[in-house]
Structures are given as structure tokens and as C-alpha cells.
Structure 1
Amino acid sequence: MRIQCIVSYDGTSFYGWQKQPDCRSVQEVIETAINKITGENNIIHSSGRTDAKVHASNQVFHFDTQKDIAPKQWQRAINHFLPEDVYIKQSQQVSDDFHSRYSAMKKEYHYRLSTNPYNPFERHYIYQYPYGTLDLKSMQEASKIFIGTHDFASFCVYDQLGTTVRTISSLEIIEENGYFTFKIVGDGFRRYMVRMIVGGLIQVGAHRRSKDFLLELLESRGTKKCLFKAEPQGLYLEHVYYE
């Protein structure tokens, strides 16, 4: 039986999603919880990895099990063994050919930033931008260059094993009372890709760089690298879309 779950987590105290030696990871705490229920050596497969201190509102993962539990009861069962910074929001049975990563059509990330006075209660969940105001219209105009299919080699960390060509279908930036939200939807994202795109747009909003500068980086296809990476605590995996 293949079970799909939707999970939210506070990434503050995690070294990211992926299990790694001697580091607390989201994958590890969920697998530990599931294995306590099943007595099996269950491996969970996610829609993608998030980095240290990055959050998720609706991350998706699946696992296979022989344990006979009603699909919707997995939510309650797993949550019983999870720490307070991870919560299963939904569980259901899916077909054996479903894969959380390879079946995904699009992913949506949100990046949250504040230009208001520093708030210690928000420090883990919103990037507290310390350098004054940002020009919303300039950032919105510059964001248009990323829409469509491009080689994002200049805006990610990559190896030679996978393509850096991705399609971004929408990139919206909104502001309300000093709080900025960058909403980006695409068919996939390489490591640090969202944070580098947002970091570049912040430079435009601060009038340190221009739209043409970002376009030059993008068109260089990795020959020139974006050196601006937004802080991790403002980033949220918001939604994963399936057919």
C-alpha cells in the first residue's frame, strides 16, 4: 500500500529535509515516527528537498507499507510520534505508480520579507531586511525576465548530472504594510534557485542593481553567477501541484 501525506514544518531547528549523519532532519524524524508504527524500515520520498531553516506549508511525501491502517488514520498515527515543529495535515492512499517527486507538475514557493523595524518574534519566519525600504515597482518589473523557460545556471548551485533549464509560470510580488511576499511557481527548482532569484530582485528593489544586470546574468547561462542569496528563514514551500 502506498500512502501519500502532506506535511507542514517549521524549519528553524532542522538542517534541511534530507537525512544526514549527526544532523536533525525532517526526513529522519518522520521516518522514525512511521517505523515506530509499522515495525518496518520505511523510507519516505518527498516532492523535493528543502535546506536548513527553510519551512514548508504543504510538503508532500509518500511511503510504502504492509501495515493495515485505514489511509486517513495515518495522519493521526504519525502525528502522535512527531515533535511539535512537524505536523501531518493529510494522509491518503495513492496508486503504486504515484511518486511525490516525479508525479509533481509544479511547485509554488513563497518568500517573506519585512522592511519594518526589527521584530525578534519574527526572526525565524520572515527575513528582517535591515537596509531601509524597497522599490516594489522596480522589483515587479525586473521579475518579468524570469517568466518562461530559461537556463537558470546563473541562479542556482548545480552539478553536471541534471539540467538547469526550468520553466517559471508566474512570479508575483506583493507588499502590505512593509511586508513583502514573493510568490513563484515553476515546474521545478534547483538548489538555492528561489533564494538567488529573490536575492537578485532585492538588489533591484534597493537600487543597487538594475533589471538589465539580472537579465545579463540570466542570459549568460552560468558564465556569470548571481552572488545574492536571500536568507533561508523567509522561504516556504507553499504548494505542490499534481495532475
Structure 2
Amino acid sequence: MRIKCIVAYDGTLFHGWQIQPNVRSVQEEIQKALKNITGENIVIHSSGRTDAHVHAHNQVFHFDSDKNLPEKQWQRALNHFLPADIYIKDSCFVNEDFHSRYSVKEKEYHYILSTNTYSPFDRHYIYQYPYGKLDLKIMQEAAQIFIGEHDFASYCVYDQYGNTIRTLYDFIISEEDGVFTFVLKGNGFRRYMVRHIVGGVIQVGAHRKSIAFLQDLLDSKGAKKCLFKAEPEGLYLEHVYYEED
């Protein structure tokens, strides 16, 4: 049977989602828990990878198992074996044609930035911007150039085989008491894409770069690269949406 899970994790002590040699990953911790439950060598499939120190409120993964457990028992069993920085929020049975990555219709990322006085308690969860104030209005204007279908090659890491055309449905920036929230919704995101877009918009908000500069990068379709990348600790995979949602 195929089981779909929604998982939240604190990315601080992880080297990202994907299993890599000699470093701690979210995928490895979950697969170890599944081994304890089922005795099977299960490989889980996520909606996409997150990088080192990036967090998730609602990441999605699925796996197949011959173990016969009630669908909600998978949540309880996994949480029993998982470390405290990973928590399974839900588990359910899905059809065999469901795939956590290929069935995705929309993803939503949030990026959190503070211009307030530095707090050691927030250092792993908010990018604490050390260079003064940011211009919210001009950042909101800059965000508009990214909405729609574009070739985002200038704003992501890619190889010659990768498709860098994506559609950004919405890009909302708000501020409350010195804390800025960047919300990006799209049909998919390439590696570092959110962090490069946010990094570029921050430069505009600091009046170091113009909106025209960001537009020129976007129009170059990879011929010119955005060299600004927001720090990972402020980034959260917020939601993954499927047809049934």
C-alpha cells in the first residue's frame, strides 16, 4: 500500500532533506524510523528537497510498504521513533498513482526577515538583517516582475538538462513590527530559486539595486546570474498543494 505523510521539521541541525554521506538528513531519519517499524528498506519520496538549515511546516512524502497498519497508526509509530526536530503531522492511504513530487500542483514558501535588534533566540529561524531598514513599498513593486511564467535560469542553480521555466502565481511581501514576510506561490521552484529571488528583492529594498536590474537578470534567462542569495534559516516550505486539496 502507499502512504502519504505530512511532516514538519526544524532544519537547523540537518544538512538538508536528501540523504548524503556522513551528514544528517531528514530523509535518512525518517527511513531509519520506517526500518524500525516495518523491517523493510523503504525509500521515501518527497515533494522536493530542502537545503541545509531550511525548515518545513508541511513537507509531503510518500512510501510503499507491505506492513499492515491503520492509516493514522503510521503517524503515531513514526513519531515514536523520530527525533524531536521532526514531527509527522498526518498520515493517510493514497492511490498507487499518487506521487509526492509529480502530483504537486502548487507550492508555497515563506521567508522571514527581521530588521530589529539581534536576538540570539531567533538566529536559527529568522534572517536577522544587519544592514538597517528596508523599503517595503519598493520591494512590493519589485516582486511584481516575477509573477507569471518566466525562465528563472538567472535565479536558480541548474544544469543543461534542467527546465528552468516556472510559473509564480503570487509574491506577497508584508511587514509588521520590523519583521518582513515574503510569501511565494508557484507551480514549482528550482534549487535556491526562492533564496535568489528574495536576495535580489532585498537589494532593491536596501536601495542598492534597482527593479530594472532585477528585470534585466530575469530577461537574460541565465546569461546573467543573480549573485544575491538570502540566508537559509529564514526559509520555510509552508504548503504543498495537490489536486484533491
Asked if these proteins are the same fold (TM beyond 0.5), I'd say yes
Mapped partners of 1:41, 1:123: distance in 2 = 36
Deviation, 1:188, is: 0.5
Mapped partners of 2:7, 2:200: distance in 1 = 30
Match of 2:65 in 1: 65
Match of 1:193 in 2: 193
Alignment of 1:202-241 (within 5 A): 202-241=202-241
Please say if 1:77 is aligned against 2:77: yes
TM-score scaled to structure 2, two decimals? 0.99
Please say if 1:19 is aligned against 2:19: yes
Match of 1:160 in 2: 160
Deviation, 1:92, is: 0.2
Alignment of 1:21-100 (within 5 A): 21-100=21-100
Deviation, 1:150, is: 0.2
Q: Which runs of 5+ in 1 are unaligned?
A: none
Mapped partners of 2:27, 2:162: distance in 1 = 23
Mapped partners of 1:161, 1:10: distance in 2 = 32
Q: Residue deviations 1:52-87, cap 9 Å, x none? A: 000000000000000010011100000000000000
The residue identity in structure 2 corresponding to 1:178 is: G
Number of aligned residue pairs = 243
The residue identity in structure 2 corresponding to 1:179 is: V
TM-score scaled to structure 1, two decimals? 1.00
Q: Residue deviations 1:144-172, cap 9 Å, x none? A: 00000000000000011221000000000
- The percent of aligned pairs where both chains have the same amino acid is 71
Q: Residue deviations 1:29-70, cap 9 Å, x none? A: 000001100000111000000000000000000000000100
Mapped partners of 2:152, 2:175: distance in 1 = 26
Mapped partners of 2:196, 2:59: distance in 1 = 21
Match of 1:176 in 2: 176
Mapped partners of 2:83, 2:17: distance in 1 = 15
Mapped partners of 1:12, 1:233: distance in 2 = 7
State the secondary structure of the residue aligned to 2:161. coil
Mapped partners of 2:107, 2:149: distance in 1 = 15
State the secondary structure of the residue aligned to 1:133. coil
State the secondary structure of the residue aligned to 2:121. helix
Q: Give structure 1 regions of 4+ aligned residues with deviation exceeding 3 angstroms.
A: none
